[in-house]
Structure 1
Amino acid sequence: MERAYRNLAYVLLALLPIFVAGFWIPYLSEFPHFEASITWAVHVHALLLFCFLALLIIQPFAIRYKAFSLHRKLGNLSNILMPFILIFSVAMVWKEYHEHLADGVSTAAARNDEFLSTIQLLLQAVLYGLAIATIRKRDVAAHMRYMICIVLVVMPAGLARTLGYWFDFRQSSSQTVCLALTDIILAALIVYDNRGHRKVRPYVETLCAFVFIEAVWIALGRPI
């Protein structure tokens, strides 16, 4: 691992309390008696998300402490895990879309309400594909940065819920905070790596993608 990122594992570990807090009120606190809207697909989706989060945290620890064999095995596991994550994430988007329709929302409004979830899911898939492509080319620096970008795409799943359920933020406001924070982090990473003459392209690409997503979302009226 690059010396500049030697503490990355500890930074990612700090995400765990955010995700636990974000999923506590609407999900974890109801165990084992869940309301009817929490279907088996929701359980699988939550399990996959936490497994992926655990993998994102463990992987840099494995590199830091030279457990390279474990890192490779977990990397191979992610190749199996990611397709299921994407499939069940699509299922969640589809479920929420129909819940909007059941609440009397128009088709256009229901579609717009799922814009952020859908486009971020697509971005996650693209970034993961780039992460795999770069590691196969033995471009470790780019691979690590694409994985960091994936963390930033996943982060709102916990942070937005934490802001909404614990601090009474409106959904549009919590997503605005998450998107702004993501932009700030990416810009800071670009400046940080640029000063160290390190690779910045993954961060630049991801920041451009987020700026585009935010522009479309604002044009749609910040639907949630």
Structure 2
Amino acid sequence: MKPTQSINYRYIIIFFIVFFLCAIVGFWNSYFTRIFDQENYRMHTHGMALILWLVILIIQPYLIRTKKVRLHRTLGKFSYLLVPILVLTTLDLLKYSLSKFEQLGSTGYFFVALVVNALIAYLIFYGLAIYHKRKANIHARYMICTAFPMFTPITDRIIGNYIPSLIAYVPTIDRMPVVPVIGFLMADLMLLGLCIWDVRSNKRWNVFPLALLVLLFYHFSVLNFYKYPFWQSFCEWFHAV
């Protein structure tokens, strides 16, 4: 039997750096070049929380790779504060965005699922990472997974700004192009690749395959929940509070 391979932290650092750079590119036109022209504080609080999280994702594996474990643990405790702030600022921004809708309709229900259920998937991965914080290989794998629910805010903007021709090929909801399906597909394929690698190299079925199931259910919810009465009722309640 092959020995279990440790996570290569160098590759994790590269992955998160690329992810961070993609976020910069995606939000360059809508945020970074208009940083003083945003509608209100919500864009800044959410943006700063997200930037801090992405920076932590880069720093943490670097600290492990350079054997600065104590600093890694200290910074990890900071995430106990940052993650709730990230979630709350996201919900605050979502609530503000929905206030512009007189009636939500299918597109509003879709948008709520896109954001709220992404947060749920993110919290599942983060929670599992923290639960397994003393098992470095499992912890690192779940921290990698926290990036996948965040794909579509980045990919949607990159496609809209730089590759708009792709929009013609996506499905629609009430004539609205569902551009997130491209980000969904990218995330699913990347996570599937990690599943195959982990199973073949380490005979490990307990992290990436589980994460893929969570991610697939999240994607299913975004593409289908808007049709279900229970979700419509939840969205109307959220819109009204």
Same fold at TM > 0.5: yes
After superposition, the Cα gap between the structure-2 partners of 1:172 and 1:201, relative to the gap in structure 1 and judged at 3 Å, is farther
* Matching residue of 1:16: 20
On the 8 A contact 1:97/1:111 being kept in 2, the answer is: no
CA RMSD, 1 decimal: 2.2
Q: CA deviation at 1:75?
A: 0.4
After superposition, the Cα gap between the structure-2 partners of 1:176 and 1:108, relative to the gap in structure 1 and judged at 3 Å, is closer
On the 8 A contact 1:41/1:91 being kept in 2, the answer is: yes
Q: Quote the Cα distance in structure 2 between the aligned partners of 1:96 and 1:213.
A: 21
* Matching residue of 1:85: 86
* Matching residue of 1:147: 143
* Matching residue of 1:63: 64
**In the alignment, residue 28 of structure 1 is paired with which amino acid?**
F
* Matching residue of 1:201: 206
On the 8 A contact 2:149/2:215 being kept in 1, the answer is: no
Q: CA deviation at 1:68?
A: 1.4
Q: Secondary structure at the match of 1:7?
A: helix
* Matching residue of 1:164: 160
**In the alignment, residue 54 of structure 1 is paired with which amino acid?**
V
On the 8 A contact 1:141/1:199 being kept in 2, the answer is: no
**In the alignment, residue 193 of structure 2 is paired with which amino acid?**
A
After superposition, the Cα gap between the structure-2 partners of 1:62 and 1:200, relative to the gap in structure 1 and judged at 3 Å, is farther
The within-5 A match list for 1:86-125 is: 86-99=87-100, 101-102=101-102, 105-107=103-105, 109-125=107-123
On the 8 A contact 2:151/2:184 being kept in 1, the answer is: no
Q: TM-score, normalised by structure 1?
A: 0.86
- Identity of aligned pairs, percent? 23
Q: CA deviation at 1:215?
A: 2.6
Residue in structure 1 matching 2:188, options 177, 183, 198: 183
After superposition, the Cα gap between the structure-2 partners of 1:51 and 1:198, relative to the gap in structure 1 and judged at 3 Å, is farther
Runs of 4 or more off by more than 6 Å in structure 1? none
Task: Indicate the larger mover: 108-117 or 73-82.
Answer: 108-117
After superposition, the Cα gap between the structure-2 partners of 1:146 and 1:3, relative to the gap in structure 1 and judged at 3 Å, is closer
Q: Quote the Cα distance in structure 2 between the aligned partners of 1:111 and 1:218.
A: 10
Q: Quote the Cα distance in structure 2 between the aligned partners of 1:63 and 1:23.
A: 29
On the 8 A contact 1:142/1:199 being kept in 2, the answer is: no
Q: Quote the Cα distance in structure 1 between the aligned partners of 2:203 and 2:191.
A: 14
Residue in structure 1 matching 2:224, options 206, 216, 219: 219
**In the alignment, residue 145 of structure 1 is paired with which amino acid?**
R
Q: Quote the Cα distance in structure 1 between the aligned partners of 2:11 and 2:98.
A: 40
**In the alignment, residue 45 of structure 2 is paired with which amino acid?**
V
Q: Quote the Cα distance in structure 1 between the aligned partners of 2:51 and 2:42.
A: 14
Q: Secondary structure at the match of 2:132?
A: helix
Q: Secondary structure at the match of 2:146?
A: helix
* Matching residue of 1:7: 11
